Amino acid sequence: MRLLREQGGRATLLCESWNRAAEPFDEIVTLSGPGPGYAKPRIFAQKANDYLQKNSFDLSFSMERGIRADIYRAGDGVHRIWLERRREVRPVLGWLQNRINFKNRVLLALERETFDSERTGCVIANSEMVRREIERCFDYPQERVVTIPNGVDADYFGSGDRERGRQALGLGPEEFSVLLVGSGAERKGHAARGLWWRGSETGRAW
């Protein structure tokens, strides 16, 4: 967004809420409405679609399901596949959780709308796994799906003291460690893969 503005463009953010500084956006539009929690994604998608229809933009970029957009970034993967994995790991409890949570039905419906080639111009997958999931589940033109992995500032993260960091975490010189950043522990499969977590002063370390 900063680069876009440096080149003379303008950027509007559509969101449910925003508690940060406005920069680098020219305008922040909050779209929310009353309703049960499971219906929130549908409510936001409808309000966003109404706003986009009433206002003219050269490009629309969406990170949420169900919004008509030139570009959709599938950063959460495919919800249908996630539900399948949950059933595999927890055959009884997973099936029950999938059925009784109405939000799953809302997300599945929004997802089908998202991968309608008439509604979405192109799709960014953040991994080859996600790209394959899209190909398996939807009749969306694969030539309009591009894989762009999440970026990492190698200079920043590679400038620390590795040994001191391992000592601070109590890791031995031969122990293999993996750092997973973000929420959604069940979705990421930590327990199913035998990974452990522990708290730290700055948050949780998995």
pLDDT digits (tens, 9 = 90+) for 152-206: 888 887 777 888 888 888 888 888 887 777 666 677 766 655 554 444 444 443 3
Between residues 182 and 70, the one the model is more confident about:
70
- Pair (142, 85) in one structural domain: yes
- Pair (78, 137) in one structural domain: yes
Kindly report the average pLDDT of the chain as a whole number: 86
Within a domain: residue 4? no
Last residue of a domain, one of 147, 167, 190: 147
- Pair (134, 159) in one structural domain: no
Last residue of a domain, one of 119, 147, 175: 147
Give per-residue pLDDT as tens, 23-52: 789 999 999 888 899 999 999 999 999 999
Within a domain: residue 58? no
Q: Which two three-digit tokens encode residue 77?
A: 């993967």
- Pair (120, 187) in one structural domain: no
- Pair (158, 142) in one structural domain: no
- Pair (187, 112) in one structural domain: no
- Pair (164, 117) in one structural domain: no
* Cα-based angle 128, 185, 125 (whole degrees, multiple of 5): 20
Type and span of the H or E element at 84: helix 79-89
> What's the domain count of the chain?
2
- Global confidence as pTM: 0.80
Within a domain: residue 74? yes
- Pair (114, 71) in one structural domain: yes
Indicate the angle between helix axes 79-89 and 128-137, nearest 10 degrees: 100
- Pair (68, 127) in one structural domain: yes
Within a domain: residue 118? yes
Between residues 113 and 157, the one the model is more confident about:
113
- Pair (136, 171) in one structural domain: no
pLDDT of 200 reads: 42
Show the domain range for 129. 64-147
